[in-house]
Structure 1
Amino acid sequence: MLEKITHLQLSKTLYLSILTILFAFPVIAQDKPELEIGGALRFNYNLSSWKEGQKKRGGDFGYDMFRINAKGAYKGIFFDAEYRLYSEEFGGGFLKQGWLGYNFTEQDQIHVGLTQVPFGIQQYNSNNWFFNLTYYVGLEDDHDMGVKYMHSGEKFEYQLAFFKNAEEYSFGSNSEVSSSRYAYDVAGRNKEVNQFNGKIIYKFGKETASRFGLSLQYGGLYNLDTEEVGDHSAFAVHYEITKGKWNGKAQFITASHNPENANGESRDVITMAAYGAPYEVAANFNMYSLGISRNVPVALGPISNLQFYNDFAYMEKKVEGFTDSYMNVTGVLISAGNVYTYIDYAAGYNHSWLGGNFVDDFAKGNPDAKWEARFNINVGYYF
């Protein structure tokens, strides 16, 4: 009991202290409020190797997503919010991000609210529409509720953050995390609490720009049945290089989850959820990813650029008897004014979204699984 009380008091004190620092600084005078509204409308075509009916009718073309973005500033405080609306089958409507910010200097900034978790290569550890395997285990473009401090210098960038929890909608004493969310978080009978993140980037090179970084994440896992707090952690080494029209991304992650589950419940897997549905993920794993892309400027009517890419990832599960997972996406991004079109060939092995049984592909997996593929075209108008 003493450990639980200490954990709660520490997180509450730290959170209030950071908020006090944020609002204690004098604001920069700004006479008129600023507001910018934008958004996107996207449609999707896909043809999947494991869907016999879909193959017979030549694939399906339909609605993907509509979103509204809003940015504003007044009296030195600014905000950034994005609300997305998917079909009910994919979680319906939810907030992707929404935070308040303040610039202490040109190099130092703070965010409060639903903000991106500083971990790994950002903004994305991928080039394609599907993201990479890192996204499907909550370690790419994740957003949680908390406070984040960022410094961007000539040679070094670093971020420090404290997240009280993932997105919360019900605020019940024993309510599970909602599956209606943009990024994957721990769900089911466990909830992410009191998470700390630290990330540092060293930048070097001129004609060849390089970014070498380290990321660390540690937090609690509160179990609704036992009312005990376990923990989870992740560490990443990442490198990104840009030379002319070429870009490369390489990353290694090791992650572990130690939930305090009820007796009889496995601790080899955790439940994660997003886009309206939960699935199981191996509690402990290593992940390796590599992406490469090249921009090709063109002048073909409204088309101004073609970005060709390949993104690969391998998930090594550190649980005896579990089968590893793989993902590879080859494609091209076509830029034509405000219209961006991803044409992807995504292949997966023991991948919940690419031909698996969905429930436990990222956990136990299937040793007899086959590589499956999905040909996908996503067309989006951004305004």
Structure 2
Amino acid sequence: MQKKALSGCMALIVMGCVGTPAFAQDLSIGDPKSDLGELKVSGFLRAKYQDKSWSDNDHKLTFDAAKVNLDYTSPKVFGHIEYRCYQFDKLCDFSTLVDAYAGYNLNENHLIQAGLQPVPFGPGRFWESNYYGGVITQIGLEDVHNLGLKYQGKFETGTKVELAYFTGDGGKYSGPYSDDASRYTTNFVKPEDPTLTHLDEKNMFIARVQQDLSGLPEGMSSSLGASYWYSDIENKTNGQTGDRKAWSIFGNVAYNDLTLGLTVGKNDVDNKDPITPESSLMGSFDDNFMVANEGMFYTADVSYTFKNVGKLDAVTPYAMYSTYDKSKDGFKKSSRNLVGVAAYYKDLAFVAEYIVGKNDYLIGGPSDSYAAGSDTDTHELLNLQVYYNF
């Protein structure tokens, strides 16, 4: 009930931002360098037009999503809230809290933060330069936001270390179609089908180390890193406890305006489920789907930024390769590959992306896409978006 009330309040805030974008753009109070700090509102409004090879129902420009950030910054204390709402059938019928955390700067290089926050796994919150994201977001390893505590330290050697403990996921919010899957992050969820097993992930221990490389030619920068994830998987149906063990190795190199990133890793879940030991029920964005418990994942991303193109501030073409290669014999890999371009003009961003998916539930695949994967065909999506950033 409280989350539904919160969703309603956020819808009113979003409508207020739509009506008064100039005011929202200038909404900051205070000075981040002062003891009292600065409070600032930011975010975006987004519209989309999509052409799907598997459907004829989306050939129209519609409101898609809104994001509202509330940030507090001071020399010692900081905080961040991110809330999003999406339109499935009507304005903000799916809305969800993404982040809500506070932190303390121990000094200029070390901090701690607590609350609902991004999980430090992989190269960052987003592993790609595009706007749609890779298939690993549906596996529950990329762009994950859970409830916990994190320490971050930066050292003179160019090393960045993050150690985190998460008690559980960020919970469910408000959506028209599903109960427990009304959430931003892909988590293990309570099944709507009573024959399926209910899993819950707890006690997540995450470590990530990144190292900047030195001695490179002028205009070039590069880093390498690795991360590890261990957690308990509570089988609430039979009372047993399994685990998740996942790792990733990643690196990036940038030369002037060209950037290349690569991530490789493995996901390994023991769900203690005698009925479906090879896959587990997960969900996000108001939908449920089965995900293979074990597999290798790969993401490659490249982008180049052209600055000051005519009246545009920048134009960035990019491409992505993203796949989940399942370990179980007979399970077919899930892939999502993309080419696109983004153009920026003041507070506006224009995005055009062509996406090809195979055994990808979000790109026309069947309900078992991320598990056994019964599809033999690929599907295409043309994704056009316009952003107003405030």
2:378 matched residue in structure 1: 371
> In the TM superposition, what is the alpha-carbon distance from 1:322 to its structure 2 partner?
0.9
Identity of aligned residues (%): 24
Aligned equivalents of 1:341 and 1:280: distance in 2? 34
2:315 to 306, 309, 312: 306
What residue identity is the alignment partner of 1:211? Answer: S
1:62 matched residue in structure 2: 62
Question: Structure 1: where are the runs of 5+ without partners?
Answer: 1-28, 171-175
2:81 matched residue in structure 1: 81
2:25 matched residue in structure 1: none
Q: Which moved more, 1:275-284 or 1:318-327?
A: 318-327
Aligned equivalents of 2:212 and 2:37: distance in 1? 35
* 8 Å Cα contact 2:221-2:253 kept in structure 1: yes
After TM superposition, the structure 1 = structure 2 runs for residues 337-356 of structure 1, keeping only pairs within 5 Å, are 337-356=346-365
What residue identity is the alignment partner of 1:46? Answer: Q
> In the TM superposition, what is the alpha-carbon distance from 1:31 to its structure 2 partner?
4.2
Q: What SS does the aligned partner of 1:210 have?
A: strand
2:234 matched residue in structure 1: 222
* 8 Å Cα contact 1:270-1:283 kept in structure 2: yes
Task: Count the aligned residue pairs.
Answer: 342
Aligned equivalents of 2:172 and 2:263: distance in 1? 33
Aligned equivalents of 1:169 and 1:325: distance in 2? 26
Q: Which moved more, 1:147-156 or 1:195-204?
A: 147-156
Aligned equivalents of 1:192 and 1:287: distance in 2? 20
What are the superposed Cα offsets for residues 127-154 of structure 1, whole Å, 9 maximum, x if unpaired?
Answer: 1111112212111111100001111234
Q: What SS does the aligned partner of 1:353 have?
A: helix
Matching of residue 114 in structure 1 with residue 126 in structure 2: no
After TM superposition, the structure 1 = structure 2 runs for residues 11-160 of structure 1, keeping only pairs within 5 Å, are 31-52=35-56, 54=58, 59-73=59-73, 76-87=76-87, 92-154=94-156, 155-160=158-163
2:27 matched residue in structure 1: none
> In the TM superposition, what is the alpha-carbon distance from 1:60 to its structure 2 partner?
2.5
Question: Structure 2: where are the runs of 5+ without partners?
Answer: 1-32, 191-197
After TM superposition, the structure 1 = structure 2 runs for residues 282-361 of structure 1, keeping only pairs within 5 Å, are 282-301=292-311, 303-357=312-366, 359-361=367-369
* 8 Å Cα contact 1:91-1:276 kept in structure 2: no
What are the superposed Cα offsets for residues 154-213 of structure 1, whole Å, 9 maximum, x if unpaired?
Answer: 41011000000001259xxxxx98212112112231011000000101111343211100
Scaled by the length of structure 1, what TM-score is found? 0.85
1:278 matched residue in structure 2: 288
Matching of residue 245 in structure 1 with residue 257 in structure 2: yes
Aligned equivalents of 2:350 and 2:222: distance in 1? 28
> In the TM superposition, what is the alpha-carbon distance from 1:267 to its structure 2 partner?
1.2
What residue identity is the alignment partner of 2:139? Answer: V
Aligned equivalents of 1:53 and 1:310: distance in 2? 27
Distance change >3 Å, CA 75–CA 290, structure 1 → 2: closer
1:11 matched residue in structure 2: none
What residue identity is the alignment partner of 1:230? Answer: G
1:258 matched residue in structure 2: 270
> In the TM superposition, what is the alpha-carbon distance from 1:346 to its structure 2 partner?
0.5
